[in-house]
Structure 1
Amino acid sequence: MNALSPRARLAVVLLAVLLLGGGSLGYVLRARQHAEPQRTTADSSFTLAGPRLYYRDSDTGRVAYRPPGPDAASVVGGPSCERFHAAGDTALCLQRLPGLPARADVVVLDRQLRETRRITLPGIPNRARVSASGRMLAWTMFATGDSYATSAFSTRTSILDLNTGYLIKSMEQIPLTIDGARYHAPDINYWGVTFARDDNRFYATASTNGRTYLVEGDLAAWSATALRENVECPSLSPDNSRIAFKKRVSEGTDSPWRLYVLDLRTMTEQPLAESRSVDDQAAWLDDSTVAYALPNADGRTTDLWSVPANGAGTPRLAVPGASSPVAVG
Structure 2
Amino acid sequence: MNWINNYVRPKINSLFSRREMPDNLWTKCDDCGTMLFHRELSDNLNVCTNCGYHMGITPRDRFLTLFDNGMFTEVEVPRPTPDPLSFRDQKRYPERMRSAQRKTGEKEAMLVAEGEIGRTPVICAAQDFSFMGGSMGMYVGNAIIAAAQRAVKLRRPLILFSAAGGARMQEGILSLMQMPRSTVAVQMLKEAGLPYIVVLTHPTTGGVTASYAMLGDVHISEPGALICFAGPRVIEQTIREKLPEGFQRAEYLLDHGMLDRVTPRTKMREELITITRLLMGLPPAVRGDLPPPAKMSSGGMQDDESDQPVSRDQPPVRPDSQAPVEGSDDS
Q: Do these two structures clear the TM 0.5 threshold for a shared fold by scoring above it?
A: no
Higher fraction of strand: 1
What TM-score results when the alignment is normalised by the length of structure 1? 0.28
Give the number of the structure with larger relative contact order, counting CA–CA contacts within 8 Å between residues 6 or more apart. 2
What TM-score results when the alignment is normalised by the length of structure 2? 0.28
Higher fraction of helix: 2
